[in-house]
Amino acid sequence: MSNEVYSLCFMCSIRCPIRVLVENGEVKWIEGNPHVAGMEGNLCPRGAAGIALLNDSQRVQSPMIRSGPRGSGEWRKASWDEALDYVAEKLKTIIEKHGGHSLVLGERTQLSTHVSKTFLRALGSPNHFTHDALCKGSVNVAARSLFGYTDAQISIDYKNVKHLVLYGRNFFEAIEVKPVGAFTQAMENGAQLTYIDPRVTITATKAHRYFMIRPGTDLALNYALIHVILDEKLYDPEFVNRWVQGMPALHDFIRPYSPEWAEQETGIPAQEIVKLARTVSKDKPAVVFHYGYRGAGHPNEVYFRRSLFILNALMGSIETKGGLFFKKGPGEEGGKPARKLTEQALPKLEVPRFDKVGTPDFPLPDPNHGVGHRLPHAILNEDPYPLKALLAYRFDPLLSIADSNLTKRALDRLELIVTIDINYSDIAWYSDVILPESTYLERTDCIQQANGLKPQMLLRRQAVPPRYDTRPGAIILKQLGERLGIGQYFPYETMEDLVRWQLEGTGFTLEDFDAKGFVAYGKRQIFWDRKDGLKFKTPSGKIELVSSLMESAGFPSFPPYTPQAAPPAGHFTLMTGRCAQHTHISTQNNPYLNALVPENCLWINDREAARLGISDGAWVEVTSRCGSGRIKAKVTDLIHPQAVFMLHGFGHEAQAAGRSFSKGVADSALQENIFDPVGGSPAYDHTLVTVKPVRN
């Protein structure tokens, strides 16, 4: 008995379309969906490790209730009824005493996010946040400040790019399958790749130009590039005159930031900066200064991300082949998007968010996502009010929010911590109750509204029954909601019911997804007319270099550049990043992926290491103001002398995840909880550390 199921991967958050082959209730094969252009069998290593996740006996197999102190690993198995009743009783007591807003739900954005938002709002809490702000809140604000659209509403036509400039966007390691395939093809057709990063990555080994920039100075490089582009009139005059507002202000601002000035700041020779500006502009408008995937490095993040979008605007690489484009929704084809539970009439919320987003204290971050790294401060200071319960939904505050010691102190103040997760994540391990979610191969999920050049809908379909006693998150929240008296907001019994409810009025049915795993609203690629048809959502209808969004919130569009001081003697800037074999904090215990990359190490420049008496492979102690850890050194000339680097996502404390337990060091244990006060991103690459050899 065998069958095939078209679905969506969930080994990372990209949601690549896949085809799953099932034999006698076992998943035998996963490949990229052959009906989706650019997938056609292709997977990344994490996607290829999906069956190993499904069959992993080290994931959470049933609801668990803590029976010892938090984090002790003393658990008792519970039935779903028992666990849900337990959580509901605790929540009822907390809500009665402290109000619905004392509950916070943090999650990694996913297809059922509308369900968890509904759950919180129905309970009277505005405190839903996603991981988005931790990843790229400032990219979101930068995009909105210029175009009126978020970065999530913008994409890149990689296939036709002629020159791609990447700033630490480790394109060939932080793999998105379709873009990697498309740009590989573009390179085959002659596209150029310029890579800028204090550290050599695999992406750097594929680049035509590589600059080992001084850490934290990418903005200075961009100001010098803009300087040259304006000075030598290398921009696209037709596009700029028609669509860009604020050029005189940019001219005035950029004057002092010459290539010679930037050479001092970045370490990149002035003539190389001039050459780069000239070379890139030759291929305009099919050039992309990548605006970033993770955009959370430094406190000036929003201005750096704005500078990237501005470079694209100057090149005219907006809404054009080989450039950036705005994602088109079903409305462009006269269609309707899938419904969301949040469209129901929900109670009005009277209190501000815990992170103060949307108030004068923090006006610009996107309230759809909130700013999760403010959680420890809000809890510890009871500011703006006491928080008592946390629902962590496949989001790990301990390993994702900088300064895990601070986060742990805050969590200790909570009366209830509940985790919905597949794995024994560190937050699951530190919770009072774990409600185990079924993997992506074991559950149908909510509709993916895939806006783009061709608007589509995609669907994750259950391929096999749950292997253990787990449930889909949207069912868990519904069943919890029923116990809390808000069951009416969850009008479904099964995930299929919920999808059918979502599809009402769209003209599509659940069965329409059977053949290929997706449905399309139209056949053509939609590009707006670059002469008259660009629909910027700014007040002026143009790209606002002088941003009304920022200025009206009291932030200058072009504050003077603050030089990045060299680290004091004996200190390094701690950088963090990804490899192709792991997704954030969630795959380190996967049998295959763990075997490929079992732990992280600390990259340190060979000359600095020699000075400190550190040899390759030796144990070192790395220490910041927040914490310290012991880790093996990777001594190399592939990193800037002022930086050290470690992969994100290691140093797990959950013992039940036996392969990843205690392997490597968590970057979050070292990083300070500092951030961009305008855009909201954390400044993950802005912590200073010392490194010393461990003498045994």
Partner 1 sequence: MSIYYLFQDAKKCIGCRACEVQCSSNKALSAVPKLCQIMTVGPKFVGSLPRAAYTFMPCFHCENPWCVAACPTGAMQKRDRDGIVFVDPELCVGCKTCMSACPWGAPQWNEEVGKVVKCDFCKDRVDQGLPPACVTVCPTDCLHFGKADQVRPVRRERYAKAMAGIE
Please state the closest distance from residue 74 (CB atom) to partner 1, in A: 31
| Closest distance to partner 1 from the beta carbon of 1 (Å) | 18
d(CA 141, CA 149): 9
Residues of this chain that interact with partner 1 (CB under 8 A) are: 29-32, 41-45, 47-52, 172-173, 175, 177, 180-181, 184, 188, 190, 200, 202, 204-207, 209-210, 580-581, 591-596, 637-638
Distant-in-sequence, close-in-space partners of 213: CB < 8 Å, separation ≥ 6 = 196, 197, 198, 221, 266, 267, 268, 640
Q: What is the number of other CB atoms lying within 10 angstroms of the CB of residue 25?
A: 10
- Of 29 and 507, nearer to partner 1 (C-beta) is 29
Task: Give the β-pairing of 619-623 and 456-458.
Answer: unpaired
Closer residue to partner 1 (CB): 195 or 309: 195
**Closest separation between CB of residue 649 and partner 1, Å?**
17
DSSP annotation of 354 reads: T
Minimal distance, residue 28 CB to partner 1, in Å: 8
CB of 162 to partner 1, least distance (A): 11
Determine the straight-line distance between the first and last CA of the chain, rounded to whole angstroms: 59
When the beta carbons of 17 and 299 are compared against partner 1, the nearer one is: 17
Beta carbon of residue 163, minimum distance to partner 1 (angstroms, whole number): 15
**CA-CA distances (angstroms) from residue 669 to 403, 475, 499, 652?**
5, 34, 40, 11
CA–CA separation, 658 and 664 (whole Å):
13
Nearer to partner 1, 184 or 628 (CB): 184
Rounded Cα–Cα distance for residues 599 and 581 (Å): 11
Min CB(3)–partner 1 separation in Å? 16
C-alpha pair distances (Å), 344 with each of 301, 351, 475:
36, 20, 18
Report the b/e string of 112-138 with b at 16+ CB within 10 A: bbbbbbbbbbbbbbbbbbbbbbbbbbb
* CB closer to partner 1 out of 48 and 349: 48
Please report, to the nearest 10 degrees, the dihedral formed by the alpha carbons of residues 261, 264, 266, 272 taken in order: 70
Closer to partner 1 by Cβ: residue 200 or 311: 200
Least distance from C-beta 694 to partner 1, angstroms?
A: 27
Report the alpha-carbon distance of residue 512 to residue 188 in Å, rounded. Answer: 36
Q: How far is the CB of 598 from partner 1 (least distance, A)?
A: 10
Query: Is the Cα torsion angle 427, 429, 430, 436 positive or negative in sign?
Result: positive
CA distance 160 to 287: 9
* Closer by beta carbon to partner 1, 206 or else 377: 206
By beta-carbon proximity to partner 1, the closer residue of 209 and 242 is: 209
Phi, psi of 540 (to 5 degrees): -85, -10
Please state the closest distance from residue 275 (CB atom) to partner 1, in A: 13
User: Which CB sits closer to partner 1, 72 or 205?
Assistant: 205
Q: Decide: helix, strand or coil at residue 185.
A: helix
Q: Which is nearer to partner 1, 184 or 344 (CB)?
A: 184
What DSSP string runs through 588-655?
TT-HHHHHHS----EEEEHHHHHHHT--TT-EEEEE-SS-EEEEEEEEESSB-TTEEEEESS--B--T
Taking the complex as a whole, the smallest distance from the CB of residue 273 to partner 1 amounts, in Å, to: 15
Smaller CB distance to partner 1: residue 94 or 177?
A: 177
The CA–CA distances, whole Å, from 409 to 133, 412, 430 equal: 22, 5, 12
